[in-house]
């Protein structure tokens, strides 16, 4: 696993070494869906050191995104595996959890615990109540930038 840091946008992306060449696309705001990745946008004043964020706090300015494999659309009996994209912004209604991010000594670390509950149409009409949780621990050398 490697991580890449975009100095201007303060976005860090975690992705497998074999997908390293596509890391710049994530840093540039694209959302490739052919491999698993995680990206975290952080406030500019948090470009080095560590940051612990309560995701219920809108003023935290954190954005979490990921692409991961999951069930396509169970409401339509499509139980195949699809590349699912999700994005959460600190302060989103129904969002709870925390992100602990470290950027030190050319290494990025992240501990993520996220839960979201709300009304979604992701599974087709009608919109329905859904709960989703994401957690993970990441540690990787920073390539293409330094804290």
Dump pLDDT digits (tens) for 89-105: 999 999 999 999 988 88
Phi/psi at 58 (5° precision): -60, -35
Pairing of strands 63-73, 49-54: unpaired
pLDDT digits (tens, 9 = 90+) for 25-82: 898 889 999 999 999 988 876 656 788 999 999 999 899 999 998 887 777 778 889 8
Distance CA 57, CA 92 (A): 9
Chain centroid, CA 87 distance in Å? 7
Q: What is the pTM of this model?
A: 0.84
Q: Which tokens go with 39?
A: 């990206």
pLDDT digits (tens, 9 = 90+) for 6-23: 565 488 889 998 998 888
Pairing of strands 37-41, 63-73: antiparallel
| Strand ranges, E, within 62-106 | 63-73, 78-89, 95-104
Q: Is 125 in a helix, a strand, or coil? A: coil
Q: pLDDT band for position 83 (50/70/90)?
A: confident
């Amino acid at each position: 696993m490697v991580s890449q840091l975009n100095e201007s946008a303060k976005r860090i992306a975690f992705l497998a070494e074999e997908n390293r060449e596509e890391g710049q696309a994530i840093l540039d705001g694209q959302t490739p869906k052919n491999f698993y990745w995680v990206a975290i946008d952080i406030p500019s004043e948090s470009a080095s050191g560590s940051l612990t964020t309560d995701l219920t706090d809108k003023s935290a300015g954190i954005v979490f995104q990921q692409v991961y494999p999951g069930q396509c659309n169970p409401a339509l009996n499509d139980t195949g595996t699809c590349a699912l994209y999700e994005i959460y912004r600190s302060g989103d209604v129904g969002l709870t959890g925390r992100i602990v991010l470290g950027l030190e000594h050319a290494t990025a670390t992240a501990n993520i615990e996220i839960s979201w509950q709300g009304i979604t149409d992701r599974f087709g009409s009608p919109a329905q109540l859904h709960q989703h949780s994401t957690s993970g621990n990441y540690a990787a050398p920073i390539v293409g930038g330094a804290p």
